[in-house]
Amino acid sequence: MPQNRHEIAISRLSTLLEHISVQAKQTDQLNSKQKSHRLIENNNLFSQHLFTTESDKIFIYVEEVKKRLNEFSRLYALSGDNPNKAEFAKSSLQRIEQQISALMNAIQSNQTMHQAAQASFDARKNVRVKAAKAAQLKQNDVYNKMAKSVLLTSHQLYQQLSEHHEFERRLRDMITEREQQRIRSKSANTEKLSQEVLALHQRLGRCRKAISSIERSIEQAEKSKLR
């Protein structure tokens, strides 16, 4: 008994699916080795209206179509002379053919899709690299500003220390000068010179106290450089 056109279609689609299955396995294996696949591996390849499967593996969708074709073949054989047999066969085969067409398009466009994903992957990587470089430059800028501030502070402190040492020297000279004047002066001037000497000693004490404070600040600044 010759095969009718639906039986021929079933045989043809079954052979085609075997060929697509081999291609799907090869494509899935290739995709698993591509970093760009990470960007699309959580996306379903096809519409939920076309497949019930949810996966990034093409082979799994092929298996769904094989099951659908086997189920259709079984039901078609059991339908006998049912008047709705032709309509059932037509709608079922159309659905399967749509699925097979979608699978073939997915395999053919796989490389293009992953090239686009790779471009996106590279762009994201470049953004991360640029962001890391910008963060590093910002950190270096902050460090340089801090270092410059420390150096500037140290310079200012040493300048202040030098000025206070000069002030200390002048006060000592003034005290020595007033002491000599007091020794040489008449008794009428002695009291006034003594008061001046006392005031100069007080100023000298404050100057030396300031010198000690500046020296401690310099020590702290020098330690901060070593951290």
Note the pLDDT tens digit of each residue in 20-78: 999 999 988 988 887 766 666 556 677 778 888 888 888 999 999 999 999 888 888 87
189 or 15, which is more confident: 15
- How far is the C-alpha of 77 from the C-alpha of 117, rounded, in Å? 45
Is there a single domain that holds both residue 57 and residue 97?
yes
Report yes or no on whether pTM surpasses 0.85.
Answer: no
- Under the banding of pLDDT at 50, 70 and 90, the label for residue 2 is very low
pLDDT at 55: 83
Look up the domain containing 203 and give its range: 134-225
- Under the banding of pLDDT at 50, 70 and 90, the label for residue 219 is confident
Examine the pLDDT at 107 and tell me if it is beyond 70.
yes
- How far is the C-alpha of 102 from the C-alpha of 174, rounded, in Å? 103
Structure tokens given for 169: 């020297």
pLDDT at 224: 67
What total number of domains does the chain contain? 2
Q: Is the residue at 101 inside a domain?
A: yes
Q: Is the residue at 74 inside a domain?
A: yes
